[in-house]
Amino acid sequence: MQECLGFYAWQGNWERLFGASFPQTTDQAGVAPLLSRVPVVWFSFDEEGNLTTQNPYAHRPKGWEKVIDECRRRGIAVDMTVAYLDGPKLEAILADDKITDRIVAGIQREVTPFDGVNIDLEGLGSKSIHGEESRVRVRRDFNRFLGRLRAKLEKQNKKLYVCLHPLNGWFLGYDYRKIGRLTDGLVVMAYHYGPTPEPSASVEQSVTLALASGVPRDKLILGILALKPYETPNTLGDKVGIAQKHRIGGIALWKISFLKEESLAVLRRLLTPK
């Protein structure tokens, strides 16, 4: 696998990433040697499209520059994650070109110190709200936003990754085929199916459905919720095995602070240091 992403979100990530308390580091511990990219969940936006670094969906900590500097010293790419998790409000935002233009412009201003952008816009196309006809509009609006963002990021030589609900889940407002073409990596968030640990059959189906939809194999990344009861150390290994079996682009771990030593031991056994 080419990619191993570890999301840096809220508290407790530095020590798990670098093996020592902030701002110290060590090369003998932590998950950093296994990671190719660290998406940092430091950005969101309001209903007018203004970017923020502090709301219920994102938090940029003090000393954030040190995270970028230490990752860069180790050859790990850092992506600015832009998160928003209220599906109905998000659908209204994406339908308004003036608001989405403001979001894109804000990302352009903030992306300079980063290697790319990770878009985590959740809750689109809920089965409880939409039929197929209205869901088509939701997908179209999201595609239009991603297309405009992609065009701007290419001029800045920045990568674009996107996190999506699985095709066998509850939220179906995502055009996998189109998004697979627009992005450098597509993370399928294969969790919250109900039973715990996450059922391997459902997780594997999320991968096969994404591939069948036309997502290039090397762009598909399996998102894993690395927290009990969703995954134990043993079932974490099973999920990594699914990604390896299908020879997809990699895995994405939500989130770094959830990785206890038992899980790190499993990852070290299964993954090649980057």
Any idea which residue has 């816009």 for tokens?
Answer: 121
d(CA 21, CA 172): 41
- pLDDT of the residue at 29: 82
Spans of the chain, pLDDT less than 70:
274
3-270 under CATH 1.10.1060.10, yes or no: no
Q: For residue range 166-207, what is the model confidence (pLDDT) as tens digits?
A: 999 999 999 999 999 999 999 999 999 999 999 999 999 999
pLDDT given at position 129? 94
Task: Tell me the residue type at 31.
Answer: V
The confidence score (pLDDT) of residue 121 equals 98
Kindly list the distances between the CA atom of residue 95 and the CA atoms of 47, 48, 177, 225, in Å, as whole numbers in the listed order: 12, 12, 20, 30
What residues does each domain of the chain span? 3-270
User: 10 Å Cβ neighbour count for 170?
Assistant: 14
